[in-house]
Amino acid sequence: MSFVPVYKPRSWLPNIQYMDYNAIINNEHAIDDLLNSDMLVINDLSYHPGAIELLERNLDSVNLLELTRNPAAVHLFEKLYLSNKFPIIDMFYIDDYKKHHMMFEMMFYPHYNNIPVQNLYLFNIFQNPSAICFIIKHFKYLLSNDYKPENKTQEYQQRWLLMALCKNPSAIDILLTLDEKYIHFESLMENPQGYIVLEKYPKRHKRLFKIDIGVDLLYYHNEGSLRFVTKYYSERMHMLHFWFNIHYNDSDYALELLMKNPDKILWNHLCYNTNPKAIELLRKNKDKIDWKILSCNHGAIELIEEKLMEDDNMDKIHEILDLNRLARNKNIYVLDTKQMKLNINVPMYIGKDNTINGEKHKIYWSFAEELISKVFHPSRVYKHLNQYDYELFDDKYIDDTVF
């Protein structure tokens, strides 16, 4: 019996073998299609939340460094961390990882190279929005203003991991308790909820805006970050970059600003916006749609489908859409309710020796039937009536004063 969602491709979707593998592997709903197409590589799915059951069954094939980025894998961190299975991995890969992913951190902390390799895993975990409980359980001492590192290595380790925490949208309550000296304000600009901490330190965010570090990110994170900008730095609304970036902000507030300033709308950039109001605006201006860009917009799947159904456009799908962008669109998949029902129901054999008239026979015992049988079991009915004066069958309380 399984309650895991099962997805199937829409009827008009080309076979994923004709799509870019690196694109489809990032689609959170593509796991079943990849499996059915014999294109599944466990190692490539290590950071994929939708593949957690596969990862659990194939831990030996998982990229553990990427697993620490997976918000659905936090329950595995405890097991791996306590068993010391965050291993020291190939140094060439580490150097490559530093070069391409951590140059920014190395600029601020040159002692980075003296930090144990294991902390690469911790750096990812400290950024993982689902790992807060794990972090508090094992590294609460680092989150205290009273923590006194014994040496420079420990000091840089603390600052390095707290810098990662500053990027974590689930860590705002923790960050608000830390002294200013422990906050990495440049990293906060990358945090969708970072503006909440920035408001506490006006001098700091004024400096960041003055030197223009990470400011563009605040334009398109969400409504809160955008309102932060318009509240404290309304003069930014006269800058080209402001209007360019808010096209990627999916909030109603961003759409409200754009619709009040229609001369600022850049239609090809609006095609990335998933807000239903943006989709409706595009629907009313189809002649301005860039269908290649729209291919990746999961909020526009109905608009895309309508386009393909017009004038037999199905044969022109390669010309109209960008298949590699389309591969990243999670809504090219729909729930396979038929298969999900089969996965939930349990096959059971009936009849004497599992046979009827000498032939083996089975039925599917529905989860709903099993649930009902448990809920309305006589012992359960009696317990509710006896302890709570509650009649399950009639869904009413019994007034014992009438007896």
- Dump pLDDT digits (tens) for 12-32: 999 998 889 999 998 989 999
The whole-angstrom separation of Cα 31 and Cα 29 is 6
Confidence of residue 287 (pLDDT cuts 50, 70, 90): very high
Between residues 161 and 361, the one the model is more confident about? 161
- What is the model's pLDDT at position 363? 54
Between residues 84 and 337, the one the model is more confident about? 337
Q: Quote the percentage of the chain above a pLDDT of 70.
A: 76
Q: What's the whole-number mean pLDDT along residues 184-200?
A: 96
The whole-angstrom separation of Cα 273 and Cα 249 is 7
The ranges assigned to domains in the chain are 352-402
Q: What's the whole-number mean pLDDT along residues 333-359?
A: 68
- Residues 6+ away with beta carbon under 8 Å from 251: 222, 223, 226, 275
* Cβ proximity of 148 and 182 under 8 Å: no
* Cβ proximity of 86 and 62 under 8 Å: no
Between residues 157 and 175, the one the model is more confident about? 175
- 114 pLDDT more than 80: no
Q: What's the whole-number mean pLDDT along residues 72-87?
A: 76
State pTM to two decimals: 0.78
- 328 pLDDT more than 90: yes
- 94 pLDDT more than 50: no
The whole-angstrom separation of Cα 292 and Cα 323 is 8
Q: What's the whole-number mean pLDDT along residues 105-111?
A: 43
Confidence of residue 295 (pLDDT cuts 50, 70, 90): very high
Structure confidence by residue, pLDDT tens digits, 202-215? 999 999 999 999 99
Structure confidence by residue, pLDDT tens digits, 116-172? 545 678 889 999 999 999 999 989 999 999 999 898 878 888 888 999 999 999 999
- 312 pLDDT more than 50: yes
3-state secondary structure of 58: coil
CA distances from 291 to 287, 295, 296, 317 (A): 10, 6, 9, 10
Q: What's the whole-number mean pLDDT along residues 169-185?
A: 96
- 115 pLDDT more than 60: no
